């Protein structure tokens, strides 16, 4: 709640400040030129060259970008033998160079002001034609953040996925439901191999106890939001709970970046 108030106050304040002072590049913090200020992603042209948007061809299941010529859609070797509980995953940018730095500053450097920039970096993923029909519907997608364990949230001060959901919701008028809880304080996924990651996650997520939220989940078309998708193990376990226990209709994973 506190974060939400601060966020709203933050975006109003930001708009006012923008009138008085020129904005700075989210990457190098240098001043943004006139032509650059209007851009959706607030970075200078030098930093823009360090961004790599994910465009087709990419894996139709996990969103893994593919270099080279191929048919419009395909399934990568990583997904060929796997069945995910989510329908598919989409990401705005590749998780390297600048995007990686921004995510790191946002999450571990507590630079919450980068949330709007990261939301803009996530946004191109929403151009995927598979998302269009539900996006254009009156109620649209239901945004569900991948949860943090409350101890980790206390350490970090906020849940980056929930902040991204709220930033997106402010622009799209979609609802946010914090429908999942992380009930186990697990080791950092990044330090584990694939088998370890799956083991580490089993039973780590539960549905919210909030009745209103549970009702909202039934038959819902969900965008499960996180900052980055690596192996897909976390998103997969969340999607399983949303589907099997929450009775969600569709679960599509949306992230800022794909590693």
Q: x/- site string to Zn ion, residues 131 to 170, per CB under 5 A?
A: ----------------------------------------
Cα–Cα distance for residue pair 166/173, rounded to 1 Å = 10
64 near Zn ion, judged by CB under 5 A: yes
Cα–Cα distance for residue pair 62/253, rounded to 1 Å = 9
126 near Zn ion, judged by CB under 5 A: no
User: In the complex, what is the shortest distance from the CB of residue 224 to Zn ion, in angstroms, rounded to a whole number?
Assistant: 16
Give 255's strand partners: 91, 226
Secondary structure of 127-143 in the HEC alphabet? HCHHHHHHHCCCCCCEE
Of 39 and 124, the one with the shorter C-beta distance to Zn ion is 39
∠ CA(33), CA(113), CA(236), 5° rounding? 115
Of 208 and 255, the one with the shorter C-beta distance to Zn ion is 255
User: In the complex, what is the shortest distance from the CB of residue 244 to Zn ion, in angstroms, rounded to a whole number?
Assistant: 22
92 near Zn ion, judged by CB under 5 A: no
Q: Estimate the share of the chain in helix, then strand, then coil, as percent rounded to the nearest 5.
A: 45, 15, 40
The residue count for binding Zn ion (CB under 5 A) is: 12
197 near Zn ion, judged by CB under 5 A: no
Tokens in use for 139?
């109620």
Cα–Cα distance for residue pair 56/243, rounded to 1 Å = 28
Query: For Zn ion, which stretch binds (CB under 5 A), given 16-24, 40-48, 92-100, 229-237?
Result: 40-48
Query: For Zn ion, which stretch binds (CB under 5 A), given 45-53, 102-110, 149-157, 187-195?
Result: 45-53
80 near Zn ion, judged by CB under 5 A: no
H and E: helices and strands count for the chain: 12, 9
3-state SS assignment for residue 10: helix
Selected binder of Zn ion within 79, 114, 162, 222 (CB under 5 A): 79
47 near Zn ion, judged by CB under 5 A: yes
Binding footprint of Zn ion on the chain (CB under 5 A): 25, 27-28, 44, 47, 59, 61-62, 64, 76, 78-79
């Amino acid at each position: 709640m506190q974060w939400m108030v601060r966020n709203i106050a933050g975006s109003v304040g930001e708009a006012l400040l923008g009138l008085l002072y020129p904005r700075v590049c989210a990457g190098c913090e240098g001043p943004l030129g006139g032509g650059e200020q209007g851009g959706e992603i607030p970075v200078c042209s030098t930093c823009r060259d360090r961004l790599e948007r994910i465009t087709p061809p990419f894996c139709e299941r996990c969103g893994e970008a593919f270099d080279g010529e191929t048919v419009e859609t395909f399934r990568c070797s990583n997904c060929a033998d796997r069945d995910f509980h989510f329908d598919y995953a989409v990401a705005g940018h590749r998780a390297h160079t600048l995007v990686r730095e921004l995510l790191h500053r946002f999450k571990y450097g507590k630079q919450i002001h980068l949330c709007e920039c990261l939301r803009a970096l996530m946004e191109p993923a929403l151009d995927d034609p598979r998302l269009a029909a539900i996006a254009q519907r009156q109620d649209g997608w239901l945004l569900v953040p991948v949860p943090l364990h409350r101890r980790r949230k206390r350490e970090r001060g906020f849940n980056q996925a929930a902040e991204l959901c709220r930033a997106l919701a402010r622009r799209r008028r979609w609802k946010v439901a914090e429908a999942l809880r992380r009930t186990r304080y697990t080791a950092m996924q990044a330090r584990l191999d694939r088998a370890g990651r799956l083991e580490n996650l089993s039973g780590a997520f539960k549905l919210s106890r909030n009745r209103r939220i549970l009702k909202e989940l039934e038959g819902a078309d969900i965008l499960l939001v996180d900052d980055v998708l690596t192996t897909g193990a976390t998103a997969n376990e969340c999607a399983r709970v949303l589907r099997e226990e929450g009775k969600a209709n569709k679960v599509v994973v949306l992230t800022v970046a794909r590693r």
